[in-house]
């Protein structure tokens, strides 16, 4: 509870209403159960200032009451007297801190359930007070931070606060009065127990462990728990429930309301090696007990000493064996950034959800190149430190571009060819996927990637959109083989209001259990292909005692993390509770070949503030080390695989787009083509399914074909090796017709094109007819970097009056490029080498550029080009150019204007 307002200060003196001697009164018990301790009488200093008639002298406990809200709040004013036990006033020309101070009754009353402390809101214009001062304060009783809503639970601190027309009055009547701290012990009896100490000087003299660091860098606070870090109840480490965990913890704050404190408090050193890890211990905290942001917290009045009980592990734990397999969540490793740029230097780009139109809104990783470089350095350091022969990745961008980038960075550090990827392409319906890296010198792939099919696929993918990835490997040397299956289950977040709600195992437990059942079925099918040794790893988003683990164990798989000591079974911290969301499950035949399992605790124990992000980093503690490379710890498994007979299987991987247009170039990508073992490649071809001759290929790359008719066709990529073995990949393509309308008939067309600096890009559409056009028939499509299929589409809506214009602009363009009525659209995220089409009812009626062709930087004819210029349609043009596949000469129909010309947007004239 707090006493707040603008302050009016009065002088102190003798006589008046002060000078009373408080009687013998019992002090409040420390936890509501201990007997009271009688204190001797203490003479109170004299306060010479009269007590306001409208703010009668009131004991602090009367204001606090015995509930979480003052019975006097927002109803009356009061005068209180007490000793300053915590000074958190603003520093002149510096931090605002808490903008006030805490006062406490010189002698407590007889009610152990009511607090003796109170906060006085005293902003920067207040006269200074100091700890030990005896003060008289008059003002209005209020609740700071009261949650709104009729049924909302109060989340507030009781205070005395001034009003606009009546500021708080503070009188310093004495000084240097010592006050003893009230002892508090954890666990408390209930969630309301600590309310009786709100605003008081308290001390917890018990072993306390750091149990949560998520907000250390943001708000300067961390969670401390009795005797040791707290584990999630369903992880199996301790018998405590979540409710019991809450009663045995306290928030240690920094006595400051600022965000992004500089320096970050409580770190072990002032340099970039400074940290504070989960499990670090202190034996005592002392300060004021306050209540803010739904938690009781200590605002410290003296520094706590921490022991680094959980030092950083500089090396990954030894797991033995002749082969090491690992998994690591790479925390949204994207090479397309949230600002629309890419690691390759492109601008105006976006991310897809496995397929479809790209959008920067789908990108989840680094905000920009600066953040990405920091992220990459940490991820590379972590993977290099793991030194795994095979590693499964979670949360990598759903393209091979991101994986190839990571492989290149790893090999730049470790040596050319150290790692390779399985080239999984894009799959599923999420912006992220799982992927696999391996060391070709240590293992070889046996056959290609395998995805689940049928109900195994639909049941697994439905909750998350992220299919598992399976690859069979054989050890170089003894051909010992195993299946490696990487997973990323549905998360516990974004809880629904009904249905699959939290029933003790987090939200969507039913969905994760369904995924576990589907995965077990898929693994059975993998075993049927001649290899029973299976290792499933990844982020299963479920703890060790939850239903998905029970499903795997019932199917005969061993949960390998259960081999570790209980306190080592964790990879993640959430809400102050530690547990393992990442797992390794071994099939029955593989379990006996497991030499060891380990978790490298480089991420979950570290403060979020030291990761790669640059936002909210006033005190930037980044270092290119593996620590806090991600939010999950990596898991490792050592294997001693028994020798197997050599198995040769060809490997084939590729991407078969699902749609095409007759008359347009259709491109299939072959990402991987290996004959397998010592065999050689005999043939590689693509059968287009339309009766035309298959197109031969010599290896990975692109193969193009032009369909002449619409329809549905089965495209098959086939590889044959010298041993007579084949590998195939097939997919169905739906081919639609493209109708080219002869020029001449007036219709909507592009009338202005702006390719300005930075995001200053816009296109103008003009209706040259005498009729109002139904815009729902039209769409604008963007074809980036020579693409033959759209990379972004903007469907239009509404109507457009005769001889009126409609402007589409980049959302980040300046106001000059957004006349009244402008629509902001990602279809305008183009550069000079990107083509645009305008379609009506699916038919092209106008274009800028040539679809399916990359001109390099721009289409240009003389001084007229599509880069860094404004183009305005010549006044004689009444209809668009409906030939998107033909070479584009901008000088034929367009006049050129200087860079960033925008004065013509929103109006157009024709002859």
What CATH number is given for 651-736 in this structure? 2.60.40.10
Residue closest to 301 by CA, chosen among 319, 283, 289: 289
Q: Collect the ranges in the chain with pLDDT lower than 50.
A: 1-39, 148-153, 739-742
Q: Which residues, at least 6 apart from 724, have a Cβ–Cβ distance to it below 8 Å?
A: none
- The rounded distance, in Å, linking the Cα atoms of 118 and 84 is 10
Per-residue pLDDT, 358: 81
Residue 180: both structure tokens together = 């003893």
Residue closest to 669 by CA, chosen among 851, 426, 354, 344: 426
Edge-to-edge order in the sheet of strand 681-687: 659-661, 726-736, 711-721, 681-687, 695-696
Diameter of the chain by CA atoms?
110
Residue 124: both structure tokens together = 């920067």
Q: Which residues, at least 6 apart from 271, have a Cβ–Cβ distance to it below 8 Å?
A: none
Per-residue pLDDT, 661: 81
Q: 3-state class of 514 per DSSP?
A: helix
Per-residue pLDDT, 72: 86
Q: Which residues pair with 133 in a beta bridge?
A: none
Do 651-736 and 749-897 have matching folds? yes
- The rounded distance, in Å, linking the Cα atoms of 90 and 87 is 9
Residue 198: both structure tokens together = 């709100």
E strands along 722-842, which residues? 726-736, 749-755, 761-766, 773-774, 778-783, 792-795, 799-800, 805-809, 823-824, 835-840
DSSP state of 351: B
Range 323-639 classified under CATH 3.60.10.10: yes
Range 749-897 classified under CATH 2.60.40.180: no
Per-residue pLDDT reduced to its tens digit, 199-254: 999 999 999 999 999 999 999 999 999 999 999 999 999 889 999 999 999 999 99
Please state, rounded to an integer, the average pLDDT across all residues of the chain.
90
Count Cβ atoms below 10 Å from residue 895 Cβ, excluding itself: 14
SS3 content of the chain, % helix, strand, coil (to 5): 15, 30, 55
- The rounded distance, in Å, linking the Cα atoms of 191 and 225 is 15
Per-residue pLDDT, 13: 39
Q: 3-state class of 40 per DSSP?
A: coil
Per-residue pLDDT, 538: 98
User: What ranges do the domains of the chain cover?
Assistant: 1-195, 205-307, 323-639, 651-736, 749-897
**pTM score of the predicted model:** 0.78
Q: Which residues pair with 860 in a beta bridge?
A: 865
Q: Are 703 and 668 in contact (CB under 8 A)?
A: yes
- The rounded distance, in Å, linking the Cα atoms of 99 and 299 is 13
Per-residue pLDDT, 8: 36
Count Cβ atoms below 10 Å from residue 628 Cβ, excluding itself: 25
Residue closest to 137 by CA, chosen among 160, 106, 104, 107: 160
User: Strands 805-809 and 823-824, how do they pair?
Assistant: parallel
Per-residue pLDDT, 41: 54
DSSP state of 450: B
Per-residue pLDDT reduced to its tens digit, 158-183: 998 777 777 788 999 999 999 999 99
User: Strands 577-579 and 230-231, how do they pair?
Assistant: parallel
Q: Are 141 and 24 in contact (CB under 8 A)?
A: no
């Amino acid at each position: 509870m707090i006493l707040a307002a603008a302050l009016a200060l009065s002088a102190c003196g003798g006589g008046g209403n002060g000078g009373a001697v408080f009687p013998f009164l019992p002090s409040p018990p420390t936890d509501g159960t201990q007997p009271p301790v009688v204190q001797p009488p203490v003479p109170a200093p004299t306060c010479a200032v009269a007590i306001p008639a409208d703010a009668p002298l009131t004991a602090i406990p009367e204001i606090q009451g015995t509930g979480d809200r003052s019975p006097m709040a927002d109803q009356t004013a009061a005068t209180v007297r007490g000793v300053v036990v915590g000074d958190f006033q603003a520093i002149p020309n510096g931090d605002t801190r808490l903008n006030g101070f805490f006062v406490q009754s010189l002698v407590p009353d007889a009610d152990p359930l009511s607090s003796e402390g109170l906060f006085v809101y005293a902003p920067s214009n207040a006269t200074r007070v100091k700890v030990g001062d005896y003060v008289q304060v008059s003002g209005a009783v209020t609740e700071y931070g009261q949650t709104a809503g009729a049924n909302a639970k109060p989340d507030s601190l009781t205070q005395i606060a001034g009003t606009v027309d009546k500021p708080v009055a503070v009188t310093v009547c004495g000084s240097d009065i010592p006050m003893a701290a009230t002892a508090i012990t954890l666990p408390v009896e209930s969630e309301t127990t600590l309310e009786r100490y709100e605003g008081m000087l308290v001390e917890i003299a018990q072993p306390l462990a750091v149990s949560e660091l998520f907000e250390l860098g943001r708000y300067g606070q961390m969670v401390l728990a009795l005797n040791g870090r707290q584990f999630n109840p369903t992880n199996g480490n301790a018998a405590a429930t979540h409710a019991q965990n809450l009663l045995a913890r306290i928030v240690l704050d920094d006595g400051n309301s600022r965000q992004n404190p500089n320096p970050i408090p409580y770190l072990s050193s002032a340099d970039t090696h400074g940290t504070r890890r989960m499990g670090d211990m202190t034996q005592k905290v002392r300060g004021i007990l306050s209540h803010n942001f739904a938690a009781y917290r200590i605002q410290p009045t003296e520094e706590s000493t921490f022991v680094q009980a959980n030092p950083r592990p500089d090396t990954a734990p030894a797991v033995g064996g002749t082969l090491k397999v690992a998994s690591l969540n790479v925390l949204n490793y994207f090479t397309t950034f949230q600002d629309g740029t890419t690691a390759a230097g492109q601008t105006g780009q976006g991310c897809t959800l496995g397929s479809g139109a790209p959008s920067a809104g789908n990108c989840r990783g680094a905000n920009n190149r600066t953040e990405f470089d920091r992220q990459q350095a940490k991820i590379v350091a972590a993977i290099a430190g793991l030194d795994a022969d095979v590693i499964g990745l979670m949360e990598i961008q759903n393209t091979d571009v991101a994986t190839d980038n990571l492989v290149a960075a790893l090999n730049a550090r470790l040596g050319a060819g150290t790692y390779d990827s399985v080239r999984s392409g894009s799959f599923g319906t999420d912006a992220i996927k799982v992927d696999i890296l391996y060391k070709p010198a240590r293992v070889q792939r046996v056959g290609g990637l395998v995805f689940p099919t049928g109900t195994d696929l639909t049941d697994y993918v439905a909750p998350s959109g992220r299919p598992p990835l399976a690859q069979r490997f054989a050890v170089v040397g003894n051909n010992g083989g195993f299946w490696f299956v990487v997973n990323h289950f549905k998360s516990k977040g974004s809880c629904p209001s009904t249905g699959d709600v939290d029933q003790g195992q987090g939200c969507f437990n039913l969905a994760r259990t369904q995924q576990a059942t589907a995965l077990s079925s898929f693994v059975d099918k993998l075993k049927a292909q001649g290899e029973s040794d299976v290792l499933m790893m990844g982020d299963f988003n479920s703890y060790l005692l939850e239903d998905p683990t029970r499903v795997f164990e019932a199917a005969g798989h061993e949960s390998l993390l259960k081999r570790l000591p209980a306190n080592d079974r964790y990879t993640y911290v959430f809400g102050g509770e530690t547990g393992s969301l990442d797992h390794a499950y071994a099939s029955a035949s593989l379990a006996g070949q497991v030499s060891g399992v380990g978790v490298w605790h480089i991420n979950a124990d570290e403060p979020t503030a030291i990761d790669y992000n640059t936002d909210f980093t006033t005190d930037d503690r980044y270092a290119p080390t593996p620590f806090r490379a991600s939010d999950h710890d990596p898991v490792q498994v050592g294997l001693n695989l028994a020798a197997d007979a050599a198995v040769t299987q060809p490997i084939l991987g590729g991407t078969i787009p699902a749609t095409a247009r007759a008359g347009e170039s259709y491109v299939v990508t072959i990402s991987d083509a290996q004959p397998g073992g010592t065999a050689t490649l005999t043939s590689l071809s693509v059968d287009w399914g339309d009766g035309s001759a298959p197109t031969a290929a010599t290896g990975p790359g692109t193969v193009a074909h032009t369909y002449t008719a619409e329809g549905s066709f089965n495209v098959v990529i086939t590889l044959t090796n010298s041993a007579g073995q084949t590998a195939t990949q097939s997919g169905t393509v739906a081919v639609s017709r493209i109708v080219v309308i002869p020029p001449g008939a007036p219709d909507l067309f592009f009338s202005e094109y702006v390719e300005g600096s930075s995001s200053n890009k816009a296109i103008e559409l003009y209706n040259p007819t005498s009729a109002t056009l139904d815009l729902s028939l039209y769409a604008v499509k963007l074809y980036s970097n020579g693409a033959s299929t759209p990379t972004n589409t903007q469907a239009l809506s509404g109507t457009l009056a005769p001889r009126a214009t409609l402007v589409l602009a980049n959302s980040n363009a300046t106001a000059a490029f957004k006349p009244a009525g402008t629509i902001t659209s990602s279809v305008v995220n183009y550069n000079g080498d990107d083509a645009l089409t305008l379609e009506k009812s699916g038919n092209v009626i106008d274009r800028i550029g040539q679809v399916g062709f990359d001109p390099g930087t721009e289409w240009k004819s003389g001084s007229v080009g599509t880069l860094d210029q404004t183009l305005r349609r010549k006044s004689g043009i009444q209809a668009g150019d409906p030939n998107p596949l033909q070479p584009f000469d901008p000088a034929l129909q367009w006049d050129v204007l200087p860079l960033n010309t925008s004065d013509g947007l929103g109006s157009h004239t024709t002859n």
